[in-house]
Amino acid sequence: AIILGLESSCDETAAALVTSEREILAHCLAGQEEAHRRFGGVVPEIAARAHVDVMTPLVAQALEEAGLSLDQVDAVAATAGPGLIGGVMVGLMTGKALALAGGKPLVAVNHLEGHALSPRLADPGLAFPYLLLLVSGGHCQLLLVEGVGQYRRLATTIDDALGEAFDKTAKALGFGYPGGPAVEAAAKRGDPGAVPLPRPLLGSAEPHFSFAGLKSAVLRARDSGDHAADDIAAGFQAAAIDCLIDRTRKALEIAGDVAALVVAGGVASNASVRASLQALAAEEKIPFVAPPPWLCTDNAAMIAWAGAERFAAGLVDPLDFPARARWPLDPDAAKARGAGV
C-alpha cells in the first residue's frame, strides 16, 4: 500500500509518501526557523499560520517527486496530536480534506507513535517487543513497545524533556534557537570534565528522568563567569548522557527480555547520545537500533510509516477524529502519575 503522511505538530511542516514495503517515495519538509528565531523559540500562532502557507504545496511537491497522483494513494495519515493545537489542526484538516475528496481512508496518527515506530521503517529486522528511549523536544520517556498501538511507559521526566533542556542550555549560552545541534557542536570543542554538573536521579530505583536541576546548574556555571561556553555545553551533554545511560540500564533490568534497545526523537540525532546507547546495548548483549538522524527529528515519513503500520492492522479513523493537544501513548501510566508527566 502507498500511504501519504502529513506532519505539522510543532515547527516543521512535512509531507511524505511511503509504502508498506518501507520504500520512501518522497519526503518533503519545510522548517520555520527564520520565522521564530527573533523570538528565541516557537510561537504557536506564527507556527500555525506558516503551516497553512506551505502544507498544500508540500503535498503537491511530494506527489510530484514520487510521480504519483492522489488516486494512487491508498490511505492518508496525518498527525492528530499531541502538539501545538493550531498546527495539528492544519495537518489533520488537510488530511481529512484529501481523504474525503479522494475517497481514501484516514489514519489519525499520534506524533509520538510516529517517533516510536520510525526505527521499524529504518530497520526491517526490528521486531517487537523493544525498549524505546524516546527523547524529543517535549518528551523524555522509556517505553516498552509491544506492538502497533501497544505501549507501556516505564518512565518519564518529572520536569523538563531532554530536548527542552538542550534548547534552554543553548539559549543560556547564547547559541540561539534551534538549540540541540548548536550545543552538540559546542560540546565537541569543549572539555566535558571542566565544569562539575549534577546528574539528577542517577541510581534511583525507578528509571524516571529529571533535567531541571541540571539546567539551573548550567545557568549558575554561566553566571559565575569562570567557564567557557563550550566547556559548559560539553559538561551539560556529558551529564545528560550519564543520566540517559543509567536510567536506560535500569529500564532494561525492569523490562526483561527485549528484542532490541531503540532510540528515537529529535535528541536521538545527537551522535554522542547514539554512541553511548550503542555501547550500553553492546554491554547488555542486545541489538541497538537508531533511525538515521533525519528520521529522528520531526518529519512526515515517520507519520506515513506509522499510518502504514496502523492501516495494515485495519486501524482507520472517522473523519470527525479530533485534534488533540495532549495525547499520551500509555494513557494508564499518564493517569497514574497525573497531568503533565
| Residue 335 CB contacts under 8 Å (≥ 6 apart), including other chains | none
> Applying CB under 6 A, does 190 fall inside the site for ligand ATP?
no
How many residues belong to the site for ligand ATP (CB under 6 A)?
A: 25
**134: three-class secondary structure by DSSP:** strand
Task: Say if residue 137 carries a ligand binding annotation.
Answer: yes
Whole-number Å distance between alpha carbons of 135 and 154:
14
Whole-number Å distance between alpha carbons of 91 and 54:
10
Q: What cell numbers appear for 323 in the block? A: 485534534
Helix (H) or strand (E) holding 249: helix 229-255
Task: Say if residue 230 carries a ligand binding annotation.
Answer: no
Minimal CA–CA distance to 208: which of 249, 282, 154, 285?
A: 154
Binding mask 248-277 for ligand ATP (x = CB under 6 A): -----------------xxx-xx-------
Using an 8 Å Cβ cutoff, are 139 and 155 in contact? no
The sign one gets for the Cα dihedral 92, 97, 98, 102 is positive
Using an 8 Å Cβ cutoff, are 242 and 199 in contact? yes
Instruction: Give min distance, CB of 220 to Fe ion, in A.
Output: 30
Minimal CA–CA distance to 262: which of 173, 146, 172?
A: 146
Task: Say if residue 8 carries a ligand binding annotation.
Answer: no
Selected range binding ligand ATP among 22-30, 100-108, 137-145, 318-326, rule: CB under 6 A: 137-145
Residue nearest to ligand ATP (CB): 266
Binding mask 125-154 for Fe ion (x = CB under 5 A): -----------x------------------
Using an 8 Å Cβ cutoff, are 119 and 264 in contact? yes
Residue 175 interacts with, from ligand ATP, Fe ion, Mg ion, none (CB under 5-8 Å by kind): none
> Applying CB under 5 A, does 269 fall inside the site for Fe ion?
no
> Applying CB under 6 A, does 166 fall inside the site for ligand ATP?
yes
From candidates 86, 105, 138, 207, binder to ligand ATP by CB under 6 A: 138
Residue 227 interacts with, from Fe ion, ligand ATP, Mg ion, none (CB under 5-8 Å by kind): none
> Applying CB under 5 A, does 299 fall inside the site for Fe ion?
no
Q: What cell numbers appear for 193 in the block? A: 570534565
Instruction: Give min distance, CB of 312 to ligand ATP, in A.
Output: 23
User: From the DSSP assignment, how many helices (H) and strands (E) are in the chain?
Assistant: 12, 10
> Applying CB under 6 A, does 297 fall inside the site for ligand ATP?
yes
Using an 8 Å Cβ cutoff, are 286 and 260 in contact? yes
From candidates 7, 11, 184, 317, binder to Mg ion by CB under 5 A: 11
The residue among 136 and 169 lying less far from Fe ion, judged by its C-beta, is 136
Residue 132 has φ and ψ, to the nearest 5°, of: -110, 125
- Angle among Cα 62, 57, 42 to the nearest 5 degrees reads 100
> Applying CB under 6 A, does 153 fall inside the site for ligand ATP?
no
Task: Say if residue 9 carries a ligand binding annotation.
Answer: no
Using an 8 Å Cβ cutoff, are 312 and 134 in contact? no
The residue among 94 and 136 lying less far from ligand ATP, judged by its C-beta, is 136
The residue among 91 and 105 lying less far from ligand ATP, judged by its C-beta, is 91
Binding interface with ligand ATP (CB under 6 A): 9-10, 83, 111, 115, 136-139, 163-164, 166-167, 178-181, 184, 265-267, 269-270, 297-298
Residues placed in the known binding site for Fe cation: 111, 115, 298
Residues placed in the known binding site: 111, 115, 134-138, 167, 180, 184, 270, 298
Binding interface with Mg ion (CB under 5 A): 10-12
